[in-house]
């Protein structure tokens, strides 16, 4: 019997947004930084979002259990017998192990109609099907492989968290390096799912209040085109929602701003071994949590900033604390700090350079008020600054 397989061609995607550059700022790394919002500008795209969504829709249509053959013309008597077979089995052993085993066997039935109905009935099952279905795929015909892999792929995409996890593990086992039809089809399914899940992850991230963009950043002094994401003031997701980062394969830069993130996030962050840079600014992650992240992400550049947000930029290697930039609307701006000011004192302590200012501010969370003394035109000016939360 001739079999045919439909596959969807998938590709990786990237788009570029213009990003502002500047010097080191309090709470930011030296060099180019992502802005608060994605800046609308000229975009260079390999895939437009519309094209990606169209491809995702095409893959989803493939993910439905489908025949490996076009339906043959059935004799009336054969169609009648096939039509009666499935309902009889369903009523005799409603969702029992024997019922599921029979349906799995029917995936390779001589009748196209029986195969179709078996696929449809199995699509209503859950985690209890994964192990017997996997065994059938390993030793079954091409028809069983195609229909079985399609069912597992659907469980990953549409199932609840535990079912999806178990179905993915089954696909990964089937795809382990070996020369077999099952391994080839399982590998293809995992690739298609990775594409779909990446797009869904970015959409979910935006719905939960996250922001992301692609732009040129400086990592270890080297200009790099990087996908960056920010969890800031608008984030309203849970700790479990941080699992979505595992599906963002192109994510290289991740920033957490503010106290909404604590030690509950650590297990999720330690899995992100592909990150090139991780910024933890004003979070509630403990020192022990930071150490766990650093031990797990040894190749990741990690910057930790404690305390609230002042909103000024300076140069780290200056011999004094010269303020180069003041972020409009920031705590510093509202308090009257101006570009060109030199901070000489913070909370009664002398400030020798920009790093000293940053270290002092790290002890005060957003909402606290700190006392600054700046030198402006040879005159010392005292200022009261109520720190912002990180955004």
Task: Read off the pLDDT band of 161 (50, 70, 90).
Answer: confident
Using one digit for the tens of pLDDT, what is the confidence trace for 280-290? 998 889 999 99
State the pLDDT at residue 171.
Answer: 96
321-356 pLDDT, tens digit each: 999 999 999 999 999 999 999 999 999 999 999 989
Predicted confidence at residue 52, as pLDDT, reads 47
Segment 171-224, tens digit of pLDDT: 999 998 778 999 999 999 999 999 898 889 999 999 999 998 877 656 566 676
SS (H, E, C) the chain: CCCCCCCCCCCCCCECCCCCCCCCECCCCCCCCCCCCCCCCCCCECCCHHHHHHHHHHHHHHHCCCCCCCCCCCCHHHHHHHHHHHHHHHHHCCCCHHHHHHHHHHHHCCCHHHHHHHHHHHCCCCHHHHHHHHHHHHHCCHHHHHHHHHHHHHHHHHCCHHHHHHHHHHHHHHCCCCCCHHHHHHHHHHHHHHHHHHHHHHHHHHHCCCEEEEEEEEECCEEEEEEEEEECCCCCCCCHHHHHHHHCCCEEEEEEECCCCCHHHHHHHCCCCCCCEEEEECCCCCHHHHHHHHHHCCCCEEEEECCCECCEEECCCCCCCEEEEECCCCHHHHHCCCCCCEEEEECCEECCCHHHHHHHHCCCCCCCEEEEEEEECCEEEEEEEECECCC
pLDDT given for residue 246 in this prediction = 87
Query: So what's the pLDDT on residue 72?
Result: 52
Inform me whether the pLDDT recorded for 166 exceeds 80. yes
Give the model's pLDDT for residue 217.
59
Would the pTM of this model clear 0.75, i.e. be above it? no
Domains of the chain (ranges, CATH numbers): 56-200 (1.25.40), 208-305 (3.80.10.10), 312-386 (2.30.42.10)
Q: pLDDT grade, residue 70 (50/70/90)? A: low
């Amino acid at each position: 019997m001739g079999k045919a397989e439909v596959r969807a061609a998938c590709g990786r995607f990237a788009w570029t947004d213009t990003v502002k550059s500047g010097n080191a700022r309090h709470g930011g790394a030296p060099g180019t930084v992502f802005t608060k919002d994605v800046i609308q500008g000229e975009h260079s795209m390999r895939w437009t979002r519309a094209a990606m969504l169209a491809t995702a829709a095409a893959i989803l249509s493939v993910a439905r259990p489908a025949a490996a053959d076009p339906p043959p013309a059935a004799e009336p008597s054969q169609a009648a017998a096939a039509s009666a077979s499935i309902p009889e089995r369903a009523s005799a052993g409603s969702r029992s192990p024997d019922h599921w085993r029979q349906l799995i066997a029917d995936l390779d039935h001589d009748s196209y109609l029986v195969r179709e109905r078996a696929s449809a009935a199995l699509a209503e099952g859950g985690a209890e099907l994964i192990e017997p279905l996997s065994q059938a795929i390993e030793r079954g015909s091409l028809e069983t492989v195609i229909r079985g892999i399609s069912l597992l792929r659907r469980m990953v995409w549409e199932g609840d968290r535990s079912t999806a996890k178990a179905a993915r593990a089954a696909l990964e086992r089937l795809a382990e390096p070996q020369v077999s039809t099952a391994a080839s089809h399982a590998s293809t399914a995992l690739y298609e799912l990775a594409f779909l899940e990446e797009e869904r992850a970015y959409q979910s991230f935006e719905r939960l209040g996250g922001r992301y963009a692609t732009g040129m950043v400086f990592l270890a002094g080297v200009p790099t085109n990087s996908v960056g994401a920010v969890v800031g003031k608008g984030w309203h997701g849970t700790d479990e929602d941080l699992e979505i980062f595992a599906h963002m394969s192109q994510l290289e830069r991740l920033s957490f701003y503010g106290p909404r993130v604590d030690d509950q996030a650590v297990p999720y962050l330690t899995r992100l071994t592909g990150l090139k840079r991780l910024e933890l600014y004003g979070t509630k992650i403990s020192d022990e949590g930071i150490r766990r992240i650093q031990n797990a992400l040894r190749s990741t550049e990690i910057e930790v900033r404690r305390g609230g947000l002042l909103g000024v930029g300076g140069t780290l290697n200056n011999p004094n604390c010269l303020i180069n930039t003041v972020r409009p609307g920031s705590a510093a701006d509202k308090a009257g700090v101006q570009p060109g000011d030199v901070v000489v004192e913070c909370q009664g302590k002398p400030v020798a350079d920009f790093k000293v200012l940053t270290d002092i501010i790290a002890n005060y969370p957003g909402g606290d008020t700190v006392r600054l003394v700046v030198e402006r035109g040879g005159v010392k000016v005292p200022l009261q600054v109520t720190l912002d939360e990180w955004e």
